[in-house]
Amino acid sequence: MNTVLKIFLSMSISGSLLILVLLLAKRFLKEKISRQWQYYIWLIVILRLLLPFGSERTLLGKTYQAVDQAITQSVPSPKQQPAPNATRSGFAPAIKDNENPNSLEENLTIAYPLQDSKMLVINHIWLAIALGMLIRKITIYQGFIQYIKAGWNPISDTEILDQLSIVAKQAGIKKPIELCVNPLVSSPLLIGFFRPCIVLPSADISKKNFCYIVLHELMHYKRRDMFYKWLVQVVVCLHWFNPFVHLMNREITKACEFSCDEAVLSKMGRENAQDYGKTLLDAMAAVGRYKESLGAVTLSENKQLLKERLGAIMNFKKKSKTIQLLTGVLTLCIIVGASFVGVYPVAAAVEVPSSTNMEQLLPSQSDNELMADDSPVMETLDFRGKTYYLVHNETQLRAIGTGQYGMDQNYMQQADIWLSADEWVPIGTWDNPFTGTYTGNGFEIIGLTMTDPNAEIIGLFGVAQNAHIYNITLQDYDIVDAGQNVANKSVGAILAIGRWVRCYDNFVYPKETNVNHEDASSQIEQYYKDNSLPLFQMAFGSLDEKEQGKWLDRIYTDNRIAFWGTAIGVLDEDCALIQRYAEKTYANDSIAYFSALAMYMSDETLEVWLDRALEDKNTWFQSVLFNALDRDDEFDKLEEKQEKEWAEARMAEYGAVGVTIDGKNYYYQGQLVNIFLDIVQRDQSFYTLDMNPKGTINIKIIRDTDNKITGVIDMTEEEVTKLLGDMGD
Amino acid sequence: MIQQISDAELEIMKIIWGNPEAVTLFSYIMDGLAARGKPCQKNTLIVLLSRLINKGFLRAKKIGRHNEYTTLVSEAQYQTVQTRNFLDKIYEGSAKGLVSTLIMGDLLADEEYEELKRLLEKGKG
C-alpha cells in the first residue's frame, strides 16, 4: 500500500466514524440543539476528511498499524526478505518516510522504488475518478447556470427591487443583489458566488411571501452556503468510495435548509413562524406541479423534508443558556474526538514508539532463546537514535542502576517477568534518581513485593527525574505492608516520587489480599488492634455506610486520630458520613478531627462551613477552613483584625475593674503588677499570664460563670507557688 | 445592435442623457430619480445600472470610491432604433403609415405640423 492512499483511507475511516457519531447524536438531539450547530458541526468532519493531521496519540493509530501489518503480511512485497536483519533495514526507509509527511509524493518514489505497480494503478484510478467526478459536477453546475440565464428576465419593477434592497439591508447585506424571474426553475434559488442573483419562478407573489423567500435566499448568501456546499462536493469527490460521505452530503443539504430557516426566524421573530411556514408550503406546491414528470420518489422525499421543516419552524424558539452550554461542551467533545480518532499515525510513530511497531524491531525470536533465563547481561538495540538495553528477566530488572546499566540509560522490556518474593528495591533513590527511559513494551512485571516496615519509598521506581516511564503493566504487586512504621512514606506502584517525569500508559493490578468482604468486620477488629493502618483502610473501605459510621464513632471515642484520617481517606467527597461527623466534631470543637474531614469536602461545602464559623466567631475553625480553601492570607488578615478588636475589648474590660495596660506593663491601682493571671472560665484553656520581675503585686482576675469580670484579687502565696511550680514542670 | 431596456432603465438613461456634463455621478442619478418622483433604494439603482452596463448602454469608470458613468448610446441612436422597431412592428416598416396616423389621429399640434412640413421640404431640397 502506498502511504498517500493509506493516509487517505485512514482519514476516510476516521471521518466515517465521526459521521456515524453525529448521525446518532442527531437522533437524540435534533429538537434540542440549535440547527445552526447541527449544520456547522459537519465542518469538523469535513476538516477531518480533508486534513491529514491528528493528535500524537490517536485512538485508531494502533488499529491502522495492525491492519497495515496484516496487509503487508498477506501481500508479500518484494522488499521483504527472510533474514531478520533485513526486516530492520527494510523498515528504516519507512521511518524516514514518515518523518516528512509534507513531501510524501517525493518520498514515494525514493522509498518505494520497487513499489507494487498494482498499488500505483489503484492510486491513479482513485485520483482519476475523484477528478472526473469533480469536473462532472462543475460542468453540470455550469450547464444549469446557462439554462437559467438563457430563460431569465430581470425584474424591472423598481418597487420589487426596492423591497429586495430593504430586506437585504435588514439582513445586513451590503452587496446589491440581482433579481430575476425564470419560469423554468421549480423553486426560488440563489446563484453566483460573488455576484449573487436570486431567481424566482415567478414575480407574481404576495409582498409577504416575497419577503420571506428573499430573506431565506439572502441568508444562504450571507452565510456563504455556496462555498460550504462546494467544499462538501470536493470532499464527496475525493471520498467517492465512502458511502458514509455520500450520506453526510445528504445530511448537510438538509441541515443547510433547516439552519437557514432558523436564521430567518431568528431575524423575523417567532410570531412570524406560521406565515413563513405557509410561504414554504406555497413554494412547494408550485414544485409539485412542475416536477410531476420527474417521478414520485423525488416528490415524496421533498414532501417528507418539507414536513420536517414545517415542524421545526413551528417549534422554533431561542435556545436556553443550558442548551447553549451543552452545545459548547458537545462541540468541544467532537473536536477532541475528531483530532483523537486520528489518521494513519505518521507523526505518532515518530514521537512515541508504540509497542506494535517496536516488536518488529526486536531481534528475532531465536536470539531471545539463546539467552539464559537469568543472564544478567543485557543486549542492546539501537532504535531511532537511542540505545536501549533489553530487559528479559528479574536479574536484569534488578540490575538497573548498577555497573554499566546506569540510571540514565534506556531500557526496554522484552518479556513478562515473574519476580521472586525477595524484597524489591525501588529503582532510583534521592541520591541517584532514575533519569533514563523505561518502556514495559506491554509486557508484565508480576509479583513485585515490598514488606519492609521501615521503607520510606515504595514502588517499582523510587525517585525519578526527567525520566520517561511508560507502557508498564504491574500484576499482583504487594506493597501494603511496606512502610508501616514510617509516617511520611511515598508510595506509588509504578513511581513513588517523580520530577518532570513522563509517566503514562501504565497499568497496575494489586495482589488480591486475603481480606474477604464477609469476614471484613472480624478482620478489621484485628487490624485496629494491631495498629495496621493500611490494612484497616482497605477493610474499612469495604464496609457499608452503617458499619463505617460505627467505626468512626469508635475511633472518635478512642481518640485515635491516625485511624480517623485513614478511614476518612476512603470516603467520597461530601458524602453523608462526612457531613454528619463534620457537624459532630464542629459541635465538640474537635479541631483536628474536623480538619481531617475538611480535606474531603468540596469547596462549596467548605464555604458553607466557613460562613458558619465566621458567624460563630470560631477562629480556630476559620483557620482550618481558610486553609482548606487555600485562602490563608485572608485568614491572616481576619485574625489580625480580630486580635486588635479582642485586645481593645480586653483593655476596656480590664479598665472597668481598675487594671490598666501600658505597653507590656500591667498596673493595678497605680502599682506595677508582678504576676498577672486571667483565666477564662469556660474550659480553662484560654488564659492570660504576664510576669514582670519589676512588679510588686500579684493579682488575679475573677470571672463569673458567664466569663464576666467581677473583680480583682491579690494572689495568695500558695497560688503563686503552685503556678510557678506548674511552669517548672 | 441596441438591446431592449426596461422602463426603469430608460428612466435612468434619460437622466444621464439629460446631464450636460460628459460624465454622470451616482448621486446625480439618485437625485434625478427623486426629482422625477421615482425615488429608489441605492442598491436597486446599482442593480439597474449594472444591467445597463451589461447591455452596453453605459460604461462605468471607478474613480476613488465613486463610479463615473458615460453613455455609449446617444439618445438619438436609441430613438432611431426604437422607432424602427416600432415601425416594423406596427406599420410593417412603413413611415408613411406612421405619419398619416399622426395627422389623421390629430396627434400633432399645429406648430409641430408646420415644423414637420419645413423639415420635409428641406429634406427634399
Residue pLDDT, tens place only, B33-58: 888 888 888 888 988 999 999 889 99
Residues A268, A269, A274, CA angle at the centre, nearest 5°? 90
Q: Quick one: average pLDDT of A59-76? A: 54
Enumerate the residues of chain A whose CB falls inside 8 A of the CB of residue B46: 176
Contact criterion met (CB below 8 Å) for A389 and A409 = yes
Nearest chain B CA: its distance from A177 CA (Å):
7
* A-B contacts at Cβ under 8 angstroms: 45
B44–A162: do the CB atoms touch at under 8 Å?
A: yes
CA quadruple A99, A102, A103, A104: dihedral positive or negative? positive
A165–B9: do the CB atoms touch at under 8 Å?
A: no
Q: Which residue of B has its CA nearest to A195?
A: B47
- Taking only the tens place, the pLDDT of each residue in A472-499 is 888 888 888 788 777 778 888 888 888 8
A162–B40: do the CB atoms touch at under 8 Å?
A: yes
Indicate the pLDDT class of residue A355, thresholds 50, 70 and 90.
Answer: very low
Cα torsion A482, A488, A491, A497 to 10°: value is -140
Enumerate the residues of chain A whose CB falls inside 8 A of the CB of residue B9: 156
Please identify which residue in the block is written with the cell numbers 431569465.
A152
Q: Which cell is A634 given? A: 485572608
The DSSP output letter for A472 is -
Q: Which helix (H) or strand (E) holds A559?
A: none
For residue A20, CA distances in Å to A14, A27, A228, A340, A659 come to: 10, 11, 20, 16, 85
Flag the least confident range among A34-38, A297-301, A446-450.
A297-301
What count of Cα atoms within 13 Å lies in the side-chain half-sphere of residue A399? 19
Enumerate the residues of chain B whose CB falls inside 8 A of the CB of residue A154: 6, 51
B43–A169: do the CB atoms touch at under 8 Å?
A: yes
B8–A157: do the CB atoms touch at under 8 Å?
A: yes
pLDDT for res A292:
35
The Cα A117–Cα A120 span in angstroms is 5
Q: Which cell is A562 given? A: 491516625
Q: Transcribe A18-66 into DSSP letters.
A: HHHHHHHHHHHHTTTS-HHHHHHTHHHHHHHHH-----SS-TTHHHHHH
Q: Which of A590, A534, A541, A526 is nearest to A561 (CA)?
A: A590
Flag the least confident range among A164-178, A266-280, A313-327.
A313-327
For residue A599, CA distances in Å to A282, A404, A411, A709 come to: 67, 46, 39, 39
Q: Which span out of A27-36, A83-92, A246-255, A513-522 was modeled with the highest average pLDDT?
A: A246-255
Q: At what angle do helices A225-238 and A207-222 cross, to 10 degrees?
A: 50
- Taking only the tens place, the pLDDT of each residue in A174-204 is 888 889 888 877 777 888 878 888 888 877 7
User: Beta strand A417-418 with A444-446: parallel, antiparallel or unpaired?
Assistant: parallel
Nearest chain A CA: its distance from B10 CA (Å):
11
Q: Which residue of A has its CA nearest to B55?
A: A154
For chain A, how far is it from start to end, CA to CA, in angstroms? 88
Q: Which helix (H) or strand (E) holds A681?
A: none
Q: Which one-letter amino acid corresponds to residue A576?
A: A
Indicate the pLDDT class of residue A115, thresholds 50, 70 and 90.
Answer: low
Q: Which helix (H) or strand (E) holds A712?
A: strand A709-714
B38–A176: do the CB atoms touch at under 8 Å?
A: no
Contact criterion met (CB below 8 Å) for A363 and A381 = yes
Enumerate the residues of chain B whose CB falls inside 8 A of the CB of residue A158: 8, 38, 40, 44, 48
Nearest chain A CA: its distance from B46 CA (Å):
7
Q: Which cell is B88 given? A: 416594423
pLDDT for res A217:
86
Q: How much is the ipTM here?
A: 0.78
Q: Which one-letter amino acid corresponds to residue A571?
A: L
- Of all residues in chain A, the percent with pLDDT exceeding 90 is 1
Q: Which of B80, B77, B24 is nearest to B53 (CA)?
A: B24
Residue A38 Rama label (left phi>0; alpha psi -120 to 50; beta): alpha
Interface subset of A 15-44, CB within 8 angstroms of B: none
The Cα A45–Cα A337 span in angstroms is 10
Statement: residue A354 has pLDDT above 60: no
- The pLDDT mean for chain A works out to 75
Enumerate the residues of chain B whose CB falls inside 8 A of the CB of residue A178: 47, 50-51
Q: Which cell is A380 given? A: 542492546
Judged on CB neighbours under 10 Å (0-12, 13-18, 19+), A719 is middle
B38–A158: do the CB atoms touch at under 8 Å?
A: yes
Q: Which residue of A has its CA nearest to B7?
A: A156
Touching check for A177 and chain B: CB below 8 Å?
A: yes
Contact criterion met (CB below 8 Å) for A105 and A385 = no
B9–A156: do the CB atoms touch at under 8 Å?
A: yes
Residues A518, A519, A521, CA angle at the centre, nearest 5°? 110
Q: If you compute the radius of gyration of chain A from its CA atoms, what whole number of angstroms results?
A: 40
The closest CB to that of B41, out of A154, A156, A162, belongs to A162
Chain length of chain B:
125
The Cα A63–Cα A6 span in angstroms is 13
Chain length of chain A:
729
Q: Which helix (H) or strand (E) holds A178?
A: strand A178-181
B44–A164: do the CB atoms touch at under 8 Å?
A: yes
Enumerate the residues of chain A whose CB falls inside 8 A of the CB of residue B32: none
A158–B44: do the CB atoms touch at under 8 Å?
A: yes
Which of B3, B4, B38, B43 to probe the A interface (max A CBs under 10 A)?
B43
A156–B7: do the CB atoms touch at under 8 Å?
A: yes
A161–B42: do the CB atoms touch at under 8 Å?
A: no
Nearest chain A CA: its distance from B20 CA (Å):
26
B47–A161: do the CB atoms touch at under 8 Å?
A: yes
The closest CB to that of B47, out of A166, A169, A178, belongs to A178
Contact criterion met (CB below 8 Å) for A245 and A178 = no
Touching check for A311 and chain B: CB below 8 Å?
A: no
- In our burial notation (b when 16+ CB lie closer than 10 A, e otherwise), range B80-116 reads eeeeeeeeeeeeeeeeeeeeeeeeeeeeeeeeeeeee
